[in-house]
Amino acid sequence: MTDTYRVRRGDGAESRNAVHFTFEGKSYQGLAGDTLASALIANGVHLVGRSFKYHRPRGFVSAGSEEPNALVGVGATQSRYTPNLLATQVEIYEGLVAESQNRWPSLETDAGFLNEYFSAFLPAGFYYKTFMWPRMAWKKLYEPVIRRMAGLGRAPAEPDADRYTQVFAHCDVLIVGAGPAGLAAALEASNSDATVILCDEQAEMGGSLLSDRSASIDGMQAADWARAALDELRKRPNVKLMSRTTAFGWYPHNFVGLNERVTDHLANPAANQPRERLWQVRAKEVVLAAGAIERPLVFTDNDRPGIMLADAARTYVNRYGVVPGKQVVVFTACDSAYRAALDLKAAGAKIQVIVDLRKSASGHWVDKARAEGIKVRSDSIVRGTSGRLRVKSAQISNAQGGDAETVACDLILMSAGFTPSVHLFSQSRGKLSYSEELRAYVPGESVERERSVGACKGLFALDSVIESGAKGGRDAAAKAGFPPRGERSYTVSARSVGADAFIGSVMADHQAEKRAWVDFQNDVTAKDVRLATREGFRSIEHVKRYTTTGMATDQGKLSNMNALGVVSKQIDVAVPKVGLTTFRPPYTPTTFGSFAGQSRGDLFDPVRKTSIHPWAEAQGAQFEDVGVWKRAWYFPQVGEDMHAAVARECKATRESVGIFDASTLGKIEIVGKDAAEFMNRMYTNAWTKLEPGRLRYGVMLREDGFIMDDGVVGRMATDRFHVTTTTGGAARVLSMMEDYLQTEWPDLEVWLTSTTEQWSVIALQGPNARRVLEPLVEGIDLSADAMPHMSVRQGRICGVPTRLFRVSFTGELGFEVNVPAGYGRAVWEAIFAAGKSYGITPYGTETMHVLRAEKGYIIVGQETDGTVTPDDAGLGWAVGKAKRDFVGKRSLSRPALVREDRKQLVGLLTTDPKAVLEEGAQIVLDPTHPIPVPMIGHVTSAYWSATLNRSIALALVRGGRSRMGEELSIPMPDGVIKAKVVDSILFDPKGERLNA
């Protein structure tokens, strides 16, 4: 196709290179510098999408990031496909492939258009009202159908092939927006030693200056002045210019998120370029120069392809050199549309009529239009339009009603004035105030270190825009500590278009209004909004949620003020009283890739591995996640499932010797003159009398009296403790210890050091453990007399220094060999080799769990849940009764914590020894009790015990210790399981094995 809508601009447009692309499978030609929108318009294409709900044909409304309709999917392959991009922002390159969305079977003939014929039955709140019943049908029937019908783009079917990076940056002054105000601010702020970042969402900086053919600054045409200013800024070493960079979000303390699109506009990006960069900028001062967005007028059938914002058409003509239509009707409530009409006329379009909503249109622009022979109708409205895939005509009448005149056209321009872009200001928690004159909200009081300048502050005349930008730039640099070296002056020659504005529906008598769109993207009409108010919604926050107006991906950039206008008029309440919906980041949709950055695949989540991990991996161990640690779960041999492997590992450990990697245990070295006193205060146990060389099982409470952590503690010297914590609790415990040490007891002379990573811990458990270790150890007598249970010795193993613990979490004779982590694997392999003749068997966390459950040893986080006291867990013996104080002590005597019927830890033996209970299952007295059945406890641990050849369980049961022998019921989906309450120690209750 040829680009018959291209106009020569005399500024070198004809020398721009031809670029070929496809849209909807058809090939087109555009020019370098075109957006997909301007290139399609050059080819006469306006139909680009189907609306969200009614599948109405839709075309371009705007020329920028506020576009509600022209959502496209871009990408030739699924791994580089991006849905929901705006055709008004997508830059074309050779070979670009784009398609429309939300249409089937094709854009021209879309089956979903049937919704249009049922539109009377699809009012606001339709989904809430209709799909209430039957409940099951929502998930199976309604939702899938509605999702298919009402939709945006499809997610790509393959993982994203691109790379995304994230950058932190600091600057003295960040300027958002490189239009006239932003450029002036940058020129002034950078005339100092301040570091300045100037960012703009568009490919080319200059903003509205690029579309202005009539204004001049410093004797230059507006666009030339912008380019000269940018050249000057580029030369300054303290300035960083960032185009294609959207400031999408404001976060506290002048932290602004920028999304830089690096390669999307390139046909052949270099392999080392990321697709996008997420900039996290901390700015001392911010200048917001975000501009303003033109508002549509709300009139019947204002959504047909070929109905567009007036200033957008001016941008297409003046900046891109394409004319969006040749027979134009202009409908306006302000002067700026006259300026657009004159520019279109200059480009060869015929302006049929300018329909002005204002009672009597007058002034410079109106006179100029009339002088050029354009017909102007005051106090008039467009009351309807025709044309299915492209607008064909406009029906025009007096504003108060009366006969309508039909005027043929292929383009209707509309303008209700401009809405300042206060999004970032509002996100920064600045207070907005309503301007009756502008019919819009403008920045009021600031909270953060920022100032708004130019159109986003509600200033629209070019001279005042530049003046406010310059002032804001100087102010920002000075407040950042860098007073500018001088002021420059600007000679601006531009005719103001005033600030007239309108919000709401144009129809005086809205009974005569048919469907007039307020929100194009979510298909919400003025009628829908009125319906919401009739049904009792008065706050705009409620109207928004009920009608979904302003809730589409454009977040109501075009629609919010018009929706407010409709509500305000309908319920006769002033706009500021109706309220304003909250502006939230991101300003425009931002890719997930940008936020994820490098955090994908292996880098998604950190993984901690012990030094013995590769050995376990080579043995074919299965691993489980414990916190961020990978722990060997069990070691299956050929043909074994988990059940068989665990049974074998348990048996080997009980009968001979097992070896277990306990390196993930948290470890804290507590050192200092007051170390024992600190331990006394932090743990329930008494530590003063524990001799060096001895171990003690320690319990730590929170101040509310509940168990927080536990672990074995070794006293290495009078002023030194080797503390172990649970694997998952290490950081929490150290943090709590630091808290008390730093904030409550700064007088104590104690130092805390995490040593989790410094020690590898090899547990050797079983009747033959001593025999395996003895030949490897130097300088330590391992005999039962010299080194009883719960003692610690220092010496060497395999020539490596060790802290050797005699300790058991299995109930067997056991040792835990602590060696410097770098030697962990070598020592492990030496012990394993030495144990071969005893059939040494590596075991994982599952076997560890079974063995300790047989002995009734608790695991914090499994038997406890943050509401379990030491007494509940059967650990009353570990609480130092004579101690004056320790963290949590006072809480243990609170009334609720001393009740007789608290849940207590007991063992459970099922009547059927083969039935293994489910962890978390609820326990009841009488399963036939009518619902709700009172629950008296729950199962905390349940396993098959190969040692006892039956199932075992631990449980927390109300008054459990006084229920010994009682039969309880555990109702499960396939029947009730009966179990008997027994002591929690199910194996070797006298502890003869571990003392061997």
Partner 1 sequence: MLLINCPYCGPRPEAEFANGGQAHIARPADPMSLTDDEWAAYLYMRDNTKGLHHERWRHANGCGRFFNASRDTTTDVIKRTYRMGERPEAEHQGAKP
Which residues of the shown chain bind partner 1 in the complex (CB under 8 A)? Answer: 251-255, 280, 282, 429, 447, 703-704, 735, 738-740, 742-744, 746, 884-885, 889-891, 894-895
Secondary structure of residue 409 in the 3-state scheme: coil
In whole angstroms, what is the distance from residue 345 CA to residue 326 CA?
9
Smaller CB distance to partner 1: residue 24 or 704?
704
In whole angstroms, what is the distance from residue 956 CA to residue 952 CA?
14
Rounded to a whole number of angstroms, the minimum distance from the CB of residue 704 to partner 1 is 6
Q: Name the token pair of 952.
A: 């075992």
Instruction: Give the H or E element holding residue 599.
Output: none
Q: Which residues of 613-644 are buried (b: 16+ CB within 10 A; e: fewer)?
A: bebbeeeebebeeeeebbbbbbbbeeebeeee
C-alpha pair distances (Å), 736 with each of 689, 701, 708, 732 = 24, 10, 10, 6
Smaller CB distance to partner 1: residue 268 or 743?
743
Smaller CB distance to partner 1: residue 674 or 988?
674
Rounded to a whole number of angstroms, the minimum distance from the CB of residue 506 to partner 1 is 40
Helix intervals (H) in 360-440: 364-371, 423-427
Rounded to a whole number of angstroms, the minimum distance from the CB of residue 282 to partner 1 is 6
Smaller CB distance to partner 1: residue 255 or 490?
255
CA 406 to chain centre: 50
Secondary structure of residue 920 in the 3-state scheme: coil
Smaller CB distance to partner 1: residue 642 or 896?
896
In whole angstroms, what is the distance from residue 418 CA to residue 433 CA?
16
Rounded to a whole number of angstroms, the minimum distance from the CB of residue 881 to partner 1 is 12
Rounded to a whole number of angstroms, the minimum distance from the CB of residue 679 to partner 1 is 17
In whole angstroms, what is the distance from residue 729 CA to residue 861 CA?
9
Smaller CB distance to partner 1: residue 884 or 990?
884
DSSP annotation of 94: T
Smaller CB distance to partner 1: residue 225 or 706?
706
Smaller CB distance to partner 1: residue 539 or 735?
735
Rounded to a whole number of angstroms, the minimum distance from the CB of residue 884 to partner 1 is 7
Smaller CB distance to partner 1: residue 493 or 599?
599
Smaller CB distance to partner 1: residue 359 or 884?
884
Smaller CB distance to partner 1: residue 679 or 737?
737
Nearest alpha-carbon partner for 455 in 222, 180, 88: 180
Smaller CB distance to partner 1: residue 661 or 871?
871
Pair 200, 485: CB distance under 8 Å? no
Rounded to a whole number of angstroms, the minimum distance from the CB of residue 251 to partner 1 is 5
Q: Name the token pair of 291.
A: 């501009």
Q: Is the dihedral of CA 465, 470, 475, 481 positive or negative?
A: positive
Pair 843, 648: CB distance under 8 Å? no
According to DSSP, the β-strands at 903-910 and 841-842 are: unpaired
Q: Name the token pair of 662.
A: 């306990």
C-alpha pair distances (Å), 123 with each of 119, 127, 830, 868 = 7, 9, 77, 54
Smaller CB distance to partner 1: residue 49 or 430?
430
Rounded to a whole number of angstroms, the minimum distance from the CB of residue 255 to partner 1 is 5
Q: Please report, as a single letter, which amino acid is at residue 152.
A: L
C-alpha pair distances (Å), 372 with each of 239, 351, 357, 627 = 45, 10, 20, 76
Rounded to a whole number of angstroms, the minimum distance from the CB of residue 735 to partner 1 is 7
In whole angstroms, what is the distance from residue 684 CA to residue 496 CA?
79
DSSP annotation of 766: S
Rounded to a whole number of angstroms, the minimum distance from the CB of residue 745 to partner 1 is 9
Smaller CB distance to partner 1: residue 785 or 885?
885
Smaller CB distance to partner 1: residue 108 or 739?
739
Smaller CB distance to partner 1: residue 27 or 743?
743
In whole angstroms, what is the distance from residue 675 CA to residue 621 CA?
40
In whole angstroms, what is the distance from residue 880 CA to residue 421 CA?
66
The neighbouring-strand residues paired with 196 are 173, 239
The position carrying tokens 């060096």 is 692
Task: List strands edge to edge, sheet with 401-408.
Answer: 380-386, 393-398, 401-408
- Phi and psi at residue 137, to the nearest 5°: -65, -20
Rounded to a whole number of angstroms, the minimum distance from the CB of residue 177 to partner 1 is 23
The position carrying tokens 């530049």 is 466
Nearest alpha-carbon partner for 504 in 457, 554, 407, 573: 573
Nearest alpha-carbon partner for 852 in 918, 726, 941: 941
Rounded to a whole number of angstroms, the minimum distance from the CB of residue 172 to partner 1 is 14
Smaller CB distance to partner 1: residue 490 or 595?
595
In whole angstroms, what is the distance from residue 554 CA to residue 781 CA?
76
According to DSSP, the β-strands at 196-199 and 239-242 are: parallel
Pair 976, 911: CB distance under 8 Å? no
Rounded to a whole number of angstroms, the minimum distance from the CB of residue 168 to partner 1 is 8
Beta strands in 707-758 (DSSP E): 707-717, 720-725, 751-754
Rounded to a whole number of angstroms, the minimum distance from the CB of residue 474 to partner 1 is 24
Smaller CB distance to partner 1: residue 284 or 806?
284
Rounded to a whole number of angstroms, the minimum distance from the CB of residue 385 to partner 1 is 48
Rounded to a whole number of angstroms, the minimum distance from the CB of residue 738 to partner 1 is 6
CB-CB neighbours of 779 under 10 Å: 11
Q: Is the dihedral of CA 120, 123, 126, 130 positive or negative?
A: negative
Rounded to a whole number of angstroms, the minimum distance from the CB of residue 447 to partner 1 is 5
Cis peptide before 586 (omega within 30 of 0): yes
Rounded to a whole number of angstroms, the minimum distance from the CB of residue 748 to partner 1 is 13
